[in-house]
A and B are shown apart, each in its own frame.
Chain A
Amino acid sequence: MQHVISVLVENKSGVLSRVSGLFSGRGFNIDSLSVAPTLDPSASMMTIVTQGDDRIIEQITKQLNKLVDIIKVVDITENEYIEREMVLIKVSARQEERAEVFRIADIFRARILDSSSTSYTIEATGDAKKIGAIVDQLRPLGIKEFMRTGRIAIARKSESGEPAEKVKVPRPHRR
C-alpha cells in the first residue's frame, strides 16, 4: 500500500542525502519526494510517498526517526488527510484543438498559464486521481512536456489534536 510520510527535518546541508541514503541503503522505495522550508526557516518539511507492507513501513518510519537530524516523522496515511500535487503540462494545440484544451482545463479547474501558436501550458492541482484524469484527457492532444511537484499532504486532524509523538511505541502484532 502507498503511504505518505511527513518528515520534519533540520534545515541543513546533508539532511536530504541522509534520508535518500537511508532509502537506497535499505532497499526502500521512494515514489515521490518534495521538500521545502517550514514557517520556521530552521526546519524543512519533506513529504515522502513510499510503498510497502506494514513491516516495511514500520521500519521506514523508525529508521527515519533514528536519524539524528530528523525532528518528527508522521505517517499521514494512518488518519484522514488531504493531499495535493501540482503539475505543469505543455500540450500541443493546433487551431482546431484549442477549444478542447479550454474545455478540459475548465472541467478540472486547471489554469492556462501560457500559450503559443502551437501549445498551451496548463497548471493543475489535485490529488493523484485528479492528476491522473486530466493527464488521460490531454494525452490524445499530445503532451510535449510534463512537470510534477510530487505530492504534499496534510492531516485533517491528529487524533489527540496534538502532533503525533516522535517516538512511537511499536504496536504489538502477531507473527
Chain B
Amino acid sequence: MELSGSRILVECLKREGVRVLFGYPGGVNLPVFDALYDEKEIDVVLCRHEQGGIHMAEGYARATGQPGVALVTSGPGATNTVTGLTDAYMDSTPIVVITGQVPTHLLGNDAFQEADVVGITRPCTKYNVLVTKVGDLAQAVKEAFYIATSGRPGPVLIDLPKDVALAKTRFKYPEKVSLRSYAPALKGNKWQIKQAAEAILKARRPVIYAGGGVLASNAHTELCELAELTNIPLTLTVMGLGAFPGTHRLFLGMLGMHGTYCANMSIHHADLIIAIGARFDDRVTGRVADFSRAHIIHIDVDPTSIHKNIKADVPIVGDARLVLNDLIEILQAHGIEKMESHADWAAQIALWRAEHPLSYTQNDNEVIKPQYVIEKISEMAPKEAIITTDVGQHQMWAAQFYKFDCPRTFINSGGLGTMGYGLPAAIGAQKAYPNRRVICISGDGSIVMNIQEIATAVEQRLPVKVAIINNQYLGMVRQWQQLFYNKRYSSSYMGDAIDFVKLAEAFGAAGLRATKVVEVEPVLQKAMAIDGPVIIDFKVSPTENCYPMIPAGAAINEMVFADPETPASALAVENVDGVLTA
C-alpha cells in the first residue's frame, strides 16, 4: 500500500518508540499535523513558542535518556529552533527536530516563509538533512534517530518540504542503518585502559572528575563502583550532577567557577585526574596555563574532546560505561589490594572541606536568602524529584545547595547557558514522568524568556512547580558588574514590576508568594499540595552574591569567597582571554 510522506513520518516515529512530540503548526507542516490528528500512539504537545518546544524535547530527553522530538513549521518556526538546537548540541542532548519546508519547486526562490534551514542549522546540529524525495524519507528518519542517540548524542534536524510530505510511495521501514561515514568507537582501547589502571594503582593524590557523559552512557552505577572500589574522591561538573550521590562521603561537590573550594583544590593538587565524560571546559579549568600538573586519564566517546583544552596522558576514546566496566575488571584482576592508600590525601581534603564549606547566613527576621530557598526545596523534595533551572545565580546556587542523589534529576543548560530553558525543560520532563515531582528553579529575568509555556503546562495539566528566585536583578550580571565593573549596574536592574502571582493566575495556573523567611516552608508545602502548575515568587535578597568563585581569567586555585572590600582592584585579575562574560 502507498502512504503519504506525512503518514510515513508518523509510522517511522512510532517505530522509533516516540510517544510524545512537541510541536507547533504552520502552513507547510499541516500535512504532518493532519496525519497526527487521529494518531492514538503519539501524544502531541502544543508548545507556545518553538524555542519552548525544543527545550521541552531536551527536558524529555535529559530526563529519560530517550530522544526528544519536535515538529515545527518552515521559516520563522524553524529559525525559532536555533537556540534550542545549539543548546542541545553543546550539552549533547539527543533530539530529533522536524522542520517543515516550502515545496521543492520553490526552494531557493525566496518563497513565503522559506529559510535555508539546513544551512542555518549546519553548525548547531550533529547532522541535518533536507529530504527531497519521499522515497528517502523513511531512511532519513531512521538515520536521524541513530545519529542523535549514538556516540556523543546530539540534535539532528530533518527538513521536510511540503510536497514531499504529500507525495506517496510504498512504505518499507528500514530495519537497520549502516553509514560508512559514521561509526562511533565505543569500546575503549584495552592497552590504554591497562595504562589507566596502572596509573590508578600508583596514584597518591587521585581525583575523579566526571561529567554529563556519565549520564549519557548510563554509567552512574559503574562510576560509583569505581569510586568505592578505589576509595578515590570525586567531583562532578554542572552537567554531571546526579551521576554520583550528592550525599556520598567521597563526593567533593561540583568543581569549576562556582564549585566548592575542596573540589577545586583537590583538582589543583592532585597527582592523578581521572576525567570521565567531561571535556575540560573553560568554566572548569580556570586559566589553562595554571591548570593542575596532574597525570591525566581522559575517557570520552568524542575523540575531539581529548587533547582539546588539556593534554591527556592516557587518552581513552570510548563509551564511559563500557570503559569503566573494563577498567574495574582490570583493577580487580591486578591487585587492587596493592593500591596505595590515600590516607594523607583524604586528610588534606577533609581540611579543605572544613576550611571553606559552602555557606551563607540566614536570620529569621532578615530578607530571604536565595540559598535558603534552595536548601528547603532540597529537604522537601523526594529523592527522585527532577530539578530544572534557568541560567544565572539561582542556577549555580541550585547546583551548590541541592543534594542530587539520583541520575537525570538535574536538568539545566550547561554549555550554552540559555536563559529561558528551565520552564519548558521542566514541562518536557514532567510529560515523560507525570507522577514524579518536577520543580523548575528560575530567576526573575530568565523566567520571562519562555513564560508563555506556563500555558502549555496548564493545558496539559502538568503539575510543574516554578520557584522564582526573585532578586529583582539579572543577578549574575549584577554580580559581575559589582566585582569587575566598579558597581556600574548598567541594564541589570529590573525591579519588581512584574506581579508573578497575577501572571500565573492570568495563565490559569496558581500563584504564590513568600516574602519572609518563615513563609518559605509553608508556601512550598502549599505549592506541592496543589494539583496543577504553580508559580512561586520568592522575594529574596537583591544583593546576595554567588560564592565561592573563580574570577574569569584566574586559576582554579585562586578562589574568592566573599565580596571584597575594594571590589574592582581586589579582583582585577589579568584576563588572558581579554573577555569577561557572564
Contacts and interface: CB of A to CB of B under 8 A. Distances in A.
A68 B127 contact: yes
A105 B257 CA distance: 64
B123 A21 contact: yes
A25 B122 CA distance: 11
B303 A66 contact: yes
Interface stretch (B180-188, B234-242, B335-343, B429-437): B180-188
B304 A66 contact: yes
A166 interface: yes
A70 B181 contact: yes
Contacts of A9: 181
A169 B127 CA distance: 24
Instruction: Identify whether the interface residues of B are mostly helix, strand, loop, or mixed.
Output: loop
Given A167-B185, A169-B192, A21 B122 contact: yes
Contacts of A17: 119, 122
B179 A59 contact: no
Interface stretch (B204-212, B313-321, B357-365): B313-321
B122 A170 contact: no
Interface in B96-133: 118-119, 122-123, 126-127, 130
B181 A71 contact: yes
B501 interface: no
Contact of B182 (A18, A58, A68, A168): A68
B443 to A, nearest CB: 30
A70 B127 CA distance: 12
Nearest to B312: A172
Interface residues of A, number: 27
B302 to A, nearest CB: 7
B122 A172 contact: no
A167 B300 CA distance: 14
B306 interface: yes
A168 B192 CA distance: 13
B311 interface: yes
A55 B307 contact: yes
B313 to A, nearest CB: 6
Interface string A33-74: 000000000000000000000010011001101101111000
Interface in B407-427: none
Given A17-B122, A21-B122, A66-B302, A170 B307 contact: yes
B192 A174 contact: no
Interface string A131-168: 00000000000000000000000000000000000111
A157 B393 CA distance: 57
Contact of A59 (B118, B308, B314): B308
A175 interface: yes
A156 B50 CA distance: 53
B315 A170 contact: yes
Contacts of B147: 68
Contacts of B312: 170, 172
A58 B180 contact: no
A129 interface: no
A173 B302 contact: no
A10 interface: yes
Interface of A: 9-10, 14, 17-18, 21, 25, 55, 58-59, 62-63, 65-66, 68-71, 166-170, 172-175
Interface of B: 118-119, 122-123, 126-127, 130, 147, 179-183, 185, 189, 192, 293, 302-304, 306-308, 310-315, 317
21 contacts: A10-B181, A14-B118, A55-B311, A59-B307, A62-B303, A68-B127, A68-B147, A68-B179, A68-B181, A71-B181, A166-B183, A167-B183, A168-B303, A169-B317, A170-B312, A170-B317, A172-B314, A172-B315, A174-B313, A175-B293, A175-B311
